[in-house]
């Protein structure tokens, strides 16, 4: 009987270990994939995104993705609409093509707030999807530092 109890005890410990080790990853604000990559002197540099916010000003909207290690660094993505003013974050895929909503420009802030702007004629794209209270944002644009790519999955607060 003692052997059987010892066996059940060891199996319970093993199950608990597997449960803790295989726990589903958090996809909220600090989930994996919340980062962006850019060229830094020819070497790719990846930064974590700590939080996201949005600001609407009439027919223009900014998505702000803040760096986790330095609040002055991050990415700003600018959308513009030909229709009515922004009242919410739009869902869909947007490029610089003149459509009802266009991804007009972006700014990469790096090294304590230095700026690297996009060039308007260079292609860029952003995809936004909403799942409950979270947004999944994937983006790509070319800046003075080269290609910038990133993704964020989590809440987006209003900075209005």
**CB-based burial label for 41 (10 Å; 0-12, 13-18, 19+):** exposed
pLDDT band at 111 (very low <50, low <70, confident <90, very high): confident
Instruction: Give pLDDT, residue 120.
Output: 63
Quote the tokens at residue 22: 């295989």
Over residues 73-98, the pLDDT tens digits come to: 999 999 999 888 999 999 999 998 76
Handedness of CA 76, 82, 85, 88 (dihedral sign): negative
Mean pLDDT of the chain: 80
Domains of the chain, by residue range, sit at 26-158
Q: What is the pTM of this model?
A: 0.76
The whole-angstrom separation of Cα 80 and Cα 98 is 10
pLDDT over 90 percentage in the chain:
49
Mean pLDDT calculated for residue range 115-143: 87
The whole-angstrom separation of Cα 27 and Cα 67 is 17
Other C-beta atoms lying within 10 Å of the C-beta of residue 42: 6
Other C-beta atoms lying within 10 Å of the C-beta of residue 139: 22
Residues 50, 67: contact at Cβ < 8 Å?
yes
């Amino acid at each position: 009987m003692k052997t059987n109890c010892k066996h059940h005890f060891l199996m319970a410990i093993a199950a608990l270990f597997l449960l803790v080790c295989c726990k589903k990853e958090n996809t909220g604000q600090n989930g994996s994939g919340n980062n962006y990559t850019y060229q830094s002197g020819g070497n790719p540099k990846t930064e974590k995104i700590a939080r996201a916010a949005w600001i609407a000003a009439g027919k223009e909207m900014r998505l702000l993705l803040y760096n986790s290690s330095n609040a002055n660094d991050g990415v700003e993505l600018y959308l513009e609409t030909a229709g009515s003013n922004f009242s919410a974050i739009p869902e869909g895929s947007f490029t610089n093509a003149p459509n009802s909503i266009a991804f007009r420009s972006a700014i990469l802030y790096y090294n304590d707030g230095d700026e690297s702007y996009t060039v308007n004629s260079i292609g860029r794209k952003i995809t936004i999807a909403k799942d409950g209270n979270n947004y999944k944002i994937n983006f790509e644009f070319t800046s003075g530092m080269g290609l910038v790519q990133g993704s964020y999955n989590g809440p987006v607060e209003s900075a209005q």
